Amino acid sequence: MNVRDLVNFETPPESSPLGGQSSSNHMLSIPPSRAPSPTNAPTFSRRASIVLIGMRGVGKTTLGTIASKALGWELLDTDLIFEQQQGVPIAKFISTYGWEEFRKVESKHLETILPNNLTGKVIACGGGVVELERNRAILQRFRDHGPVIHVLREKDAVLAYLRDSPQYPPFLHETAKEAWDRREQLFRDCCSFEFVSLTMPVPPAPKGFKDIITPDQTFALKPVEEDFFRLLRFIHGVDTKKVTLSPRGPRSYSLSLTFEDVRQAIPVLDELSTGIDLWELRVDLLSSCEPTFLAFQIAILRHHSPLPILFTLRTVSQGGRYPDVSPQNEKAVKIQAWLHHHALRLGVEYIDLEVVMPESTFTSVVEKKGNTIVMGSYNDWAGTLNWASPQTRHLFEKMTQLHVDIVKIVGAAKSFEDNMALRQFAGLVERSSTPLLAINVGPEGKISRALNPILSPVSHPLLPRAAGPGQISFYETQSILYLTGLLPAKKYYVFGRPIGHSMSPTIHNTAFSYLGLPHSYSIKETATVGELKEVMLDPNFGGASVTIPYKVEIMPYMQHISRHARVIGAVNTVTSIPGGGLSGDNTDWRAIKSCLTRSLTPANVVTSSTTALVLGAGGTCRATLYALHQIGVINIFIWNRTRRRAELLAEEFSKLDPLLRIRVLDRLDVQLPIRPLPTMIISTIPAAAPTSSELIDVGLRIEHLSDAGGVAIELGYERRITRLLSLAQEKRDQGIAWAVVEGIEILLEQGYEQFKIWTGRRAPARKVQEKVLEVYEQRRGLQSPPMQ
């Protein structure tokens, strides 16, 4: 696999914001597309070229530059190609020959460029490419082969840019706004997907800078890169954000956003996401269903949260606000269908289809769903559904025959017994291959929400309104499960010596408490690893963090060890296996990898020439080398006081990959024999001597840090500012994009990974970080000894 493919389209390790015309009217003012996009007709090759279309100024060239660097593909900008082949700027060509001639020549270029560049290219098209019908036909044919992505940006920002741009003469017979409004539907007729490139504050390029994007600008555009590659991974099925759905597997939860505008939720989005696995965007509750408004709503939600999104347009008869649609009302049917196809074009991970909608709409969306998961839903707000009747079983079977991925049936509880009937029904259909989400609404139905194991809808006090009657919070569901014996309290520990000042209890106990989980976490310090056996045999034992000196010694006690931990040669996470036995894993490398990939800018995407420098050759160096290898770095240098120890480590890890080259440095206080200079430097050694507060100087100098920018990571957290991090900060002060990752951040990341392994839930990162930093600063104020 190509190194860039490994970085940007990585398979899971175990297996190898608001533009547009807003309106309070829920009915669209534009007609449905005359040529609906075949959103999933082909399965694209990962090498299929990517075509970007959209208005001038939306950032197609910038986005194309980011994508081409990340993928290692050539960027073809049709405007630049036009100027190169005609020998004059576009503005001069148009002023000389006119717009009509420009469009003819542009079309000839398009007829050549697209068919001859089917793979390995990012192609950014001119803003008016959709003006000619033959161009639209070319784009529509291409989308059967590869993704054609309509790029949007905030309308006011783009129009301001067009007013000030000297590149083109004014539009012919219309304003830029009129051209935008007219072309918007033409772009949607031609695209297979739509991407909103949210405007980021980007520093200006210095005078005389010739490249398209400076390193500092790429750092500012990192969020755009992340959002765009989230869409590409979804398109190619590499990461579709699927939630594990099993009646006997980990429980999953969803939360309906009931805001009129997603922007209102941003300040509390982190708190709202506590414990949940999926957002339900209640489109019928938004202030508008206008397509560009919807595109920005979804883009904003994605930008602020990694969770998948369920697109729901709930009709009045099904408990929502969108008007009911009669099959006889052709216009209403077309609009409802268009909105659901628009959701597919936006790349939503889940979509809700009401079983009462016109069958033609239902089947057309299922046929075009691509990697989107379809939830077929039936909501009985009248209270006539009887869980024990044959009609309910027939309803379930009818929905499965419609080829949905999840069946959702909502009844209304009049008594507690209705919840028992629901669970009996769920048991009858449990063997079906189609997962069932089944709940009862109303006060008497609250228990059904807690007992439902699949995407159970929960509420939150910070929502403007509940999505349905009888909803309870995630915290309340955990309390109910604990009181009914379905969530037993587990004991978790940190194993090691000395560990008196470990921050791990603060991390995990804070997370347990905030999520309402009944577990506990404490310190277990022993003289030998053998003394831990009795603790691990306790039936209430849930798992443990393992630190020095037991990361290797504890491995013989494991019945299962992950592939990652075996390669690294150390276990830092122990988990009790349901039914008996212990499993060992390593989350150190995951934390390092996460911080590296999050901090690297698009300008420093990993290539075959990327270099990394690792300081130290101890146990954490092993996890560091593995993390670097996992993101595709093949040129690694190690410095260690004891050269022989570094050499043995280099010899061992070089066997992982024939392309991997790990070399050992003798000294750091000289000009480094590394070309290009490292864009990743990771220190695995203590920042200060154990008996002194002075920072250890191993000889690293500011000239050793690349002028192309990079990321500096400190694994030790006994000091927040170290020699390495101060050098990186000095580079930042010079305007060079070096990211700084403190040891406390690595500690938190590996703890979050452990928490997810043990509980199946994401840790409430912001709350945990706040508490850990509070305790950390208190201990520093007391001048406590170094923490493990």
pLDDT of residue 9: 35
Where does 654-694 show beta strands of DSSP type E? 661-665, 680-683
pLDDT of residue 38: 38
Q: Which of 174, 80, 186 lies closest to 133 in space, CA to CA?
A: 186
DSSP 181-243: HHHHHHHHHH-SEEEE------PPPPTT--SSS-HHHHHHTHHHHHHHHHHHHHHTTS---PP
pLDDT tier for residue 670 given thresholds of 50, 70 and 90: confident
Residue 722, judged by CB atoms within 10 A of its CB (0-12, 13-18, 19+), counts as buried
Q: What tens digit of pLDDT does each residue of 596-628 get?
A: 999 988 788 898 999 999 999 988 999 999 999
CA distances in angstroms from 540 to 173, 478, 519, 547, 754, listed in the order given: 76, 18, 10, 21, 18
For 610, other C-beta atoms within 10 Å of its C-beta total 23
Per-residue model confidence as pLDDT tens digits over 262-280: 999 999 999 999 999 999 9
Q: What is the dihedral of CA 592, 597, 603, 607, to 10 degrees?
A: 80
Which residue reads 């959002």 in tokens? Answer: 227
d(CA 61, CA 294): 24
pLDDT single digits (tens) 432-443? 889 999 999 999
**Band of residue 544 on the pLDDT scale cut at 50, 70, 90:** very high
Residues 6+ apart with CB under 8 A from 471: 449, 457, 458, 459
Q: What local confidence, expressed as pLDDT, does residue 210 receive?
A: 56
Q: What is the pLDDT of residue 206?
A: 62
**Domain 592-741 = CATH 3.40.50.720:** yes
CATH superfamily for domain 491-586+760-778: Leucine Dehydrogenase, chain A, domain 1 (3.40.50.10860)
CA distance 49 to 73: 9
Bridge partners, 51 (sequence order): 123, 148
pLDDT on residue 173: 59
The per-residue b/e assignment along 657-691, b for 16 or more CB within 10 angstroms, e otherwise, is eeebebebbeeeeeebebeebbbbbbbbbbbbeee
CA atoms of 539 and 577, how far apart (whole Å): 11
Beta bridge partners of 151: 195
Give me the pLDDT at residue 212, please: 58
Res 753 pLDDT > 50:
yes
711 pLDDT above the threshold of 50 = yes
The pLDDT of residue 20? 33
Taking only the tens place, the pLDDT of each residue in 768-783 is: 999 999 998 888 765 4
173-222 pLDDT, tens digit each:
567 788 888 899 999 999 999 999 998 766 666 666 555 566 566 667 78
């190609």: which residue's tokens? 81
* Residue 688: predicted pLDDT: 54
The domain ranges of the chain are 24-235, 253-483, 491-586+760-778, 592-741
Tokens at 286, concatenated: 């938004």
253-483 architecture in CATH?
Alpha-Beta Barrel (3.20)
pLDDT for residue 716 is more than 60: yes
CA dist., res. 471 & res. 452, Å (int)? 13
Residues in the chain: 788
Task: Assign 710 to helix, strand or coil.
Answer: strand
Contact status, residue 145 vs residue 48, Cβ threshold 8 Å: yes
pLDDT of residue 719: 80
pLDDT digits (tens, 9 = 90+) for 646-663: 999 999 999 999 999 999
Selected residue with higher pLDDT from 623 and 736: 623
Mean pLDDT across 563-571:
95
Distance CA 782, CA 391 (A): 69
Residue with structure tokens 């024999």?
673
CATH superfamily of 24-235: P-loop containing nucleotide triphosphate hydrolases (3.40.50.300)
Same fold yes or no, 24-235 and 491-586+760-778? yes
Residue for token pair 């993928």 = 71
Q: Please tell me whether residue 352 adopts helix, strand or coil conformation.
A: strand
Q: Find the angle CA(565)-CA(568)-CA(570) to the nearest 5 degrees.
A: 65
Say which DSSP state 27 is in: S
In the chain, DSSP finds a helix count (H) and a strand count (E) of 27, 25
**CA angle at 696 for the pair 691 and 701, rounded to the nearest 5°:** 175
Q: Under a CB-based contact definition with an 8 Å cutoff, are residues 270 and 301 in contact?
A: no
pLDDT of residue 416: 94
Q: Per-residue pLDDT for 348 more than 80?
A: yes
User: Does the pLDDT at position 4 exceed 80?
Assistant: no
How does the average pLDDT of the chain come out, rounded? 88
Tell me the whole-structure pTM to 2 decimals: 0.88
Minimum mean pLDDT range among 12-26, 88-102, 407-421, 718-732:
12-26
Q: Which residue has the higher pLDDT, 747 or 42?
A: 747
The average pLDDT across 306-313 equals 97
